[in-house]
Chains A and B, each alone.
Chain A
Amino acid sequence: MKKKIISGLLALSMLCTAAVSLTACNSSSDSSSSQPSASSTEAKVKSIDDLAGAKIGVQLGTTGDIYASDYEKEGSTIERYNKGADAVLALTQGKIDCVIIDNEPAKAFVAANQGLKILDEPFAEEEYAICVAKNNTELRDNINKALKELREDGTIDKIINNYIGDDTKGKTPYETPEGTDTSKGELHMATNATFEPYEYQEGGKVVGIDAMIAQAICDKLGYKLVIDDMDFDAIITAVQSGKADFGMAGMTVNEERKQSINFTDTYTKAKQVIIVNG
C-alpha cells in the first residue's frame, strides 16, 4: 500500500516539474515573440551618448570590441560573442541594447533582420590593412607593391564596387587573367568568413572583397591563394606563428596589433556603427 503511495507521490512530483518546465517554456517563448515590439518602444540606445551604462554586444577581438571596452569604465557591460551574427541575434532577442560592428556587415545584418536599424552617426572611422608576420618583411613589401599596382589600375575600386553600392553590385568582379602563373607555390590567407561583404561563405567557398583582393594580389605575385577560415581572434596568432602567411579580415590598423604583427598599406576605409532595435 505504502509503495503505491510513494510511487504515486513520485509520479506526481515528476509530472509537476514537467508541467512547470513546459509552462516556463511557453511563457518564455510568448514573451520572446512580443520582445521586439516591447524593446522597440523603449530603445535604450539612441545615440553614442547613451552607450554609457548600456549592454553592448560586440564580436570578440574586433575593433568594435576594443573601442567598446573603453565604456566599461563608464558602467557599460560588454557582451563579447564569438560571431558578429550571434551578437545581432542576441540584440533581436533583447538580451543586449546595441551591437557595435563594422558598417558593411552591419548593413547586411540589418537587411536580414527586421526591426533593426543603424544609428546615423558613425561610432568610429578606421582603415583596413593586411597583416603579415614581423619577420616576413619581404612578403609585406611584395604585397605593398601589388596593392599599389592594383590601386593604380583601378582593380581595387572595381572589386569594392562589386560588393558595395546598389547600382554597381555584382557588375565588376575580378577574374584571374588567363595563363596566370602560380609557380611560386601557395600563400595561406587567414580570415574569419562571417563578415559580409568583406569575407563570407557562399556555396562552400570564402568570397567577398578581401578574398577577391587577395586573389588579385596572389595573381600578381605568382602564388596560388589558399583561404583558411578561423575565429577572428585566432587570425593574428596564426599569422604570427606561421600557420598562415597573411591575415586579411577587414582588419583595422591599430597600435596594439602593430606590436605583434606588421601591417601592409591600407586598402580601404571603413567605419564602426551602432545597431539598435528600432
Chain B
Amino acid sequence: MEQFFSEIAASFERTFITDDRWLQLLAGLGVTVEITLLAAVIGVVLGFLIAIVRSTHDMQLMGRKCSKPSDYLLKVLNVICNIYITVIRGTPVVIQLMIIYYVVFASLREGIIAAIIAFGLNSAAYVAEIVRSGIMSIDKGQFEASRSLGFDYKSTMIHVVIPQAFKNILPALGNEFIVLVKETSVAGYVALKDLTYVGNLIRSRTYEAFFPLITIAIIYLIIVLILTFFLKKLERRLRNSDH
C-alpha cells in the first residue's frame, strides 16, 4: 500500500514538478485560450456577415426574379456564402488547419496565426447557420410592424430582429463555442504548444498516460464550465429583459 502511494507521488512529481511542467501546462492553457478567443471573434463577425447576406437573400429574393442590379449582387454573394459553408462544414477541421498552415500561408512562420484563422473560418460557417436560423425564426409581423413604424431595413435588423434573434440563438451559439474550445486540441498538428500538445509532450517524456491525460481533460472541463456559467448568466439577464 505504501509503495502504491509512493509510486503515485513519484508519478505526480514527474508529471507536474520535474522541469517545471506545470508551468508548461499553464502556457499551453494560455495558447488554447488565445486561439479560442480570437477564433471566436473571427467566427462571430464573419458568421454574422454571412448570416445577414443569406437571410437577406432568403427574405427578399427567394422565389422572386431579380429586378435591380443589387439583387444580382446579393444573389452572387449568397452563392459564395453557400459554397463557403458547404466546403467548411464538409471537411474536417484538422485538414483545414493543415491546409491553412502548409498550403495557404506556406511562408508564415507563426503557426498560431494559421490556427486562429483556420479555427475562426471554421467556426464562422457554423455561427452563420446558427444566426441565420435565429433571424429566420423572427415572425414576419415583427418586420412589417417595424417597417410600418418608419424603420428602414437596416434599423429593423439592428433594433428589432437581431436582439430577438440573439436571445433565441444563444444556447446554440454557446454550443458552438464549447465545440470550438475542444476543437483547438488538434493545434498540435502544426507544432503549436496548446494544452493537448503539452499533455502529449509530458507523456512523451514520462511515458505515463494517467496524470497528463486526466489533467488535460479536467482543464478542458473547467474551461467549458466557466464558459457555460457566463452563457447562463447572459441568458438569464436577457430573459429578465423580456416583459
Contact = CB atoms under 8 A, between A and B. Distances in A.
A32 B106 contact: yes
B207 A28 contact: no
A35 B77 contact: no
B106 A28 contact: yes
Interface string B64-108: 000010110110110011000000000000000000001011111
A145 B74 CA distance: 76
Contact of A93 (B49, B77, B107): B107
Nearest to A14: B77
Contacts of B206: 260
B203 A233 contact: yes
Contact of A6 (B153, B188, B208): B153
Nearest to B188: A82
B191 A90 contact: yes
28 contacts: A2-B153, A3-B60, A3-B153, A4-B68, A4-B70, A10-B52, A10-B74, A14-B77, A31-B107, A57-B191, A60-B204, A65-B204, A79-B111, A79-B191, A80-B201, A81-B191, A82-B188, A90-B102, A93-B102, A93-B106, A95-B108, A95-B109, A233-B200, A233-B204, A236-B207, A241-B209, A256-B205, A257-B207
Contacts, number: 108
Contacts of B197: 80
B16 interface: no
B185 to A, nearest CB: 13
Interface of B: 49, 52-53, 56, 60, 68, 70-71, 73-74, 76-77, 80-81, 102, 104-109, 111, 152-154, 188-189, 191, 197, 200-201, 203-209
A28 B108 contact: yes
A18 B80 contact: yes
A61 interface: yes
A257 to B, nearest CB: 7
Q: Nearest 5 A-B pairs (CB), nearest first?
A: A61-B204, A32-B106, A260-B207, A233-B204, A79-B191
Interface of A: 2-4, 6-8, 10-11, 13-15, 17-18, 25, 28-29, 31-32, 35, 55, 57, 60-61, 65-66, 79-82, 86-87, 89-90, 93-96, 233, 236-237, 240-241, 256-257, 259-261
Contacts of A10: 49, 52-53, 56, 74, 77
A8 B70 contact: yes
A237 B107 contact: no
Contact of A25 (B49, B104, B152): B104
Interface SS majority for chain B: helix
Nearest to A29: B106
A35 B106 contact: yes
Nearest to A38: B107
Nearest to A59: B204
Nearest to B74: A7
A11 B74 contact: yes
A80 B76 CA distance: 43
B151 to A, nearest CB: 10
A15 B81 CA distance: 11
Interface centre among A95, A236, A259 (most CB of B within 10 A): A95
B152 A3 contact: yes
Given A28-B104, A80-B191, A94-B109, A11 B70 contact: yes
Contacts of B191: 57, 79-81, 86-87, 90
A80 B197 CA distance: 9
Contacts of A57: 191
Given A4-B68, A15-B73, A237-B207, 4 more contacts: A14-B77, A60-B204, A241-B209, A256-B205
Nearest to B75: A11
A179 B52 CA distance: 73
A11 B102 CA distance: 31
Nearest to B152: A2
Given A4-B70, A7-B70, A7-B73, A82 B52 contact: no
A96 B111 CA distance: 11
Contacts of A7: 56, 60, 70-71, 73-74, 153
Given A3-B153, A6-B154, A55 B204 contact: no
A94 B204 contact: no
Nearest to B80: A18
A90 B188 CA distance: 14
